[in-house]
Chains A and B, each alone.
Chain A
Amino acid sequence: MRKQSLRIHCSNGHLGFAPTKEESFWIGAKTKPDYYCCDSGSDDIGPVPLGADKCASHPEWQKHDLELMLLASREQGVPMIIGSSGDTGTNSRVDMYIGFIKEIAAKHRLKPFKLGYFYSEVDKAYLLKKMRGGEAIEGLDSRGPLTESELERTNRIVAVAGVHPFIKCLEMGADVIIGGRSSDCAVFAAPAIFHGLPENYAYYGGKVLECASFCCEPYGGKETIIGEITADDVKVTAMHPVQRCTVASVAGHAMYERTNPYFEYVAGGKLDMTDCVYEQFDDKTCRISNAKFIPIEGRVKVKLEGSGFVGERYMGMAGIRDPYTIKHIDKVIQWAKDQVEERLHGKDYQLSYRIFGKNGVMGDLEPVKETRSHELLVVVEGVSPDDKVAEEATLIGTRQIFYARLPEVKGTAGTAAFILDEVVKVSAAYEWTMNHTVAVDDPMELFPTRMITVG
């Protein structure tokens, strides 16, 4: 069905990561938008959730946010769309969100509705076959093409969907869409394109809406905004009583989390914002025009994210107050490392020391070279594929800070203060093994799409 304009409600830039604020949600809902859309994931959260196939968000917050959207959209009889379900968009997270939707529907005795969903996980064998067939899996940013050993040490891969599977679900008549991993902006661009609006404003609309109130001022996350997409422009309006979408806040947001403020790449092309014109439309609304969309020539390239297991991980912490010890902290750390090596020589382990008060936050990027703090916190991380080795390495590596041998130290009863004289097991260490693209003939081949009736 063609529309002259489409109004999309976005209440959270990462659904479930911190709960949606309800006041502005309902102010927005009262204006009866055409769609309720949110992205629910990000690669921002590091490689652990994807590798371990778990969430970074709390399930009660995810349910809270889904409940708001489902109740408002079913009440109005308009669709709701979720992308990158459960932080990572893996198959298990899609299934979990479908479960949440069923639970909420049953709780509120909602009338039956159609739920479309798609998966995004990619089989390693599929990529290996392509690679052995002579096709390069190109690296993004500064990475080279994927190697077989990088693929080998990857535990889980998701493909980042563009608009294609969302549009497919809408064509099948979905009232609710639960998406696997997808481009944030595709969640919003898909319904606009489905209703016949041009790609340039569909994608720009997606780009500006995807972080919800991050494009508003004053700063404040998790508040609702509404974007209106037409054939000529995008208008974005803050719903929170004191927030506004201004030329500065919206133009500023175009830069957020990207290398270059002028381009946004999606499966199927790129959004060119070089010549965008920003105008203050009314007190709370910014109007954007002159966005361009450049479709890709040839095969569609789909982004792949992969995470690989590094080892089981433990963490220990030691505080230091003695100025002589602080001055010789590097010797202290070397002592502790040597003690670990003496005991675990030949075993597969790695140790990391981050010294807060020296350069714990910035590491190699820290320009302040002399330690100015009167106290330090040393955070020790130890990893090994063998859980027992990881624990022992971390424990020795932390406790030996207490036994450091410095020739002129006055405090001979212990050179470290412990909150707890123990180490704690934390999430296993993973690493982003893939940030690549795969070329496909049909973008749908990576995203199996299905439909069920709920209720």
Chain B
Amino acid sequence: MKTVKLVDLAKTIRSKNAGTDRITFDIIFRERENYDLVRKSGAITRQTVAALFGIPAARIVDFVEFDPGFAIKFTIDRLRPSGSFGEGDVFGCQQYAPLLDVEIPRGNGAK
């Protein structure tokens, strides 16, 4: 099956602190078609992102499809609060990179 990388479908892929104890990830699309394509592909789910980051699915505390923003959003618990001794990303803003290369089955919907 032909696939396309998530980075080529999404307008924004980012991560950021959601409070002191969590990091939230946003995948935002410009067009509804690409949003629907990814949403329905099964390539971005609670299970697939847990596997991608090598964490138990229970560490993903929220996984939401946000129609008004054409966005998929999920949030993980940090193992220790932001800025704790030994932590490497106080803003949580450089944790999204593995998402860029996720392969999405193309179907007919991609623009």
Interface residues of A (CB under 8 A from B): 43-48, 140-143, 248, 251-252, 254-262, 276, 278, 305, 310-311, 313, 350, 352, 354, 360-368, 381, 383, 429-432, 435
Contact = CB atoms under 8 A, between A and B. Distances in A.
Nearest to B18: A259
Contacts of A276: 68
A362 B71 contact: no
B86 A251 contact: no
A222 to B, nearest CB: 16
B49 to A, nearest CB: 11
B81 A142 contact: no
Interface in B71-111: 71, 73, 75, 77, 79-91, 94-95, 97-98
Task: List the 9 closest pairs (A to B, CB-CB), nearest first.
Answer: A46-B83, A352-B86, A432-B81, A251-B69, A432-B20, A429-B85, A259-B75, A141-B21, A251-B68
Given A48-B83, A259-B18, A367-B52, A142 B77 contact: yes
A45 B92 CA distance: 10
Interface residues of B, number: 45
Contacts of A350: 85-86
A400 B77 CA distance: 35
Most buried by A among B19, B73, B85: B85
A7 to B, nearest CB: 24
Contact of A45 (B90, B97, B98): B90
Interface stretch (B1-9, B38-46, B59-67): B59-67
A365 B21 contact: no
Contact of A46 (B69, B73, B90, B97): B90
Nearest to B75: A259
B83 A252 contact: no
B30 to A, nearest CB: 7
A367 B86 contact: no
Contacts, number: 141
Contact of A259 (B22, B71, B90): B22
Given A251-B68, A276-B68, A367-B53, A362 B24 contact: no
A401 to B, nearest CB: 17
Contacts of A360: 88
A311 B22 CA distance: 24
16 contacts: A44-B82, A45-B90, A47-B20, A47-B81, A142-B21, A255-B28, A255-B66, A255-B73, A259-B19, A261-B71, A262-B66, A350-B85, A365-B98, A367-B52, A429-B85, A435-B81
Contacts of B11: 248
Nearest to B24: A259
A256 B53 contact: no
A260 B18 CA distance: 9
A119 B90 CA distance: 26
A51 to B, nearest CB: 10
A140 B19 contact: yes
Contacts of A142: 21-22, 61, 77
B61 A259 contact: yes
Contacts of B81: 47, 431-432, 435
Contact of A362 (B16, B28, B95): B95
A361 B96 CA distance: 11
B52 A258 contact: no
B95 A365 contact: yes
A255 B77 contact: no
A313 B87 CA distance: 13
B85 A381 contact: yes
A257 B21 CA distance: 12
Most buried by B among A313, A368, A432: A432
A141 B22 contact: yes
Contact of A365 (B22, B55, B64, B73): B55
Contacts of A261: 64, 66, 69, 71, 73
B84 to A, nearest CB: 5
Given A141-B77, A261-B71, A261-B73, A435 B83 contact: no
Most buried by B among A44, A366, A368, A435: A44
Contacts of B53: 365, 367
B76 to A, nearest CB: 8
Contacts of B17: 43-44, 257
A262 B84 CA distance: 29
A257 B24 contact: yes
B32 to A, nearest CB: 11
A431 to B, nearest CB: 5
Given A47-B81, A435-B81, A255 B26 contact: yes
Given A251-B68, A252-B12, A143 B21 contact: yes
Contacts of B95: 361-362, 365
A313 B85 contact: yes
A310 B86 CA distance: 12
A47 B68 contact: no
Contacts of A313: 85
B91 A44 contact: yes
